[in-house]
Amino acid sequence: MSDLPTTMQAVACSAPNRFEIIERPVPQPRPDEILVETKAVGLCTSDISIITGKMPDVTFPTERFGHEPSGIVRAVGSAVSRLAPGDRVTTLWARDGFMQFADYYCVNERFAFALPAEVPFAHGLCEPLSAVLRSIGGAGLRTGDNVAVLGVGYFGLLMVQAARLLGAWRVVALDKSPRRLAIARELGADAAYDVAEDGAARALKEFTDGKGFDLVIECAGVQGAIDTAVDLVRPGGSVYVYAWHARPETVRPHTWLKGFKLLSNPACEGFDIARWHRLCEVGIEWLRRRLWRVDPLVTSITAREGLMAAIEQLANRPDEVVKVVICPSAGPMV
Residue 332's pLDDT band, with cuts at 50, 70 and 90, is low
- pLDDT recorded at residue 55: 81
| Average pLDDT over every residue of 71-80 | 97
Residues with Cβ within 8 Å of 152's Cβ and at least 6 positions away in sequence, in order, are: 160, 173, 174, 175, 177, 180, 181, 183, 184, 189, 192, 219
Q: Where in the chain is the domain with CATH 3.90.180.10?
A: 7-124+294-327
Residue 198 in this model has a pLDDT that exceeds 70: yes
Residue 195 in this model has a pLDDT that exceeds 90: yes
- pLDDT recorded at residue 2: 61
Q: Where in the chain is the domain with CATH 3.40.50.720?
A: 134-264
CA 275/CA 137 separation, integer angstroms: 11
What percentage of the chain exceeds 90 in pLDDT? 67
- pLDDT recorded at residue 99: 77
Is residue 4 within 8 A of residue 26, CB to CB? The reply is yes
Which of 15-19, 45-49, 144-148 has the weakest average pLDDT? 45-49
- pLDDT recorded at residue 269: 47
Residue 49's pLDDT band, with cuts at 50, 70 and 90, is confident
More confident residue, 99 or 224: 224
DSSP summary character for residue 234: E
Residue 333 in this model has a pLDDT that exceeds 90: no
| Average pLDDT over every residue of 293-300 | 93
Q: Which residue, among 216, 266, 217, has the nearest Cα to 237 in the 3D structure?
A: 216
- pLDDT recorded at residue 329: 62
Judged by DSSP in three states, 164 sits in helix
| Average pLDDT over every residue of 184-190 | 97
Is residue 324 within 8 A of residue 302, CB to CB? The reply is yes
The CATH superfamily of 7-124+294-327 is: Medium-chain alcohol dehydrogenases, catalytic domain (3.90.180.10)
Residue 47's pLDDT band, with cuts at 50, 70 and 90, is confident
Residue 121 in this model has a pLDDT that exceeds 60: yes
**Predicted confidence (pLDDT) per residue in 203-256, tens digit:** 999 999 999 999 999 999 999 999 999 999 999 999 999 998 878 889 988 888
Q: Which residue, among 100, 260, 242, has the nearest Cα to 158 in the 3D structure?
A: 242
What percentage of the chain exceeds 70 in pLDDT? 96
CA 52/CA 64 separation, integer angstroms: 13
Check whether domain 134-264 has CATH 3.40.50.720, yes or no: yes
Residue 201 in this model has a pLDDT that exceeds 70: yes
| Average pLDDT over every residue of 130-155 | 94
More confident residue, 288 or 45: 288
Q: Taking all residues of the chain, what is their mean pLDDT, rounded to a whole number?
A: 91
Residue 270 in this model has a pLDDT that exceeds 60: no
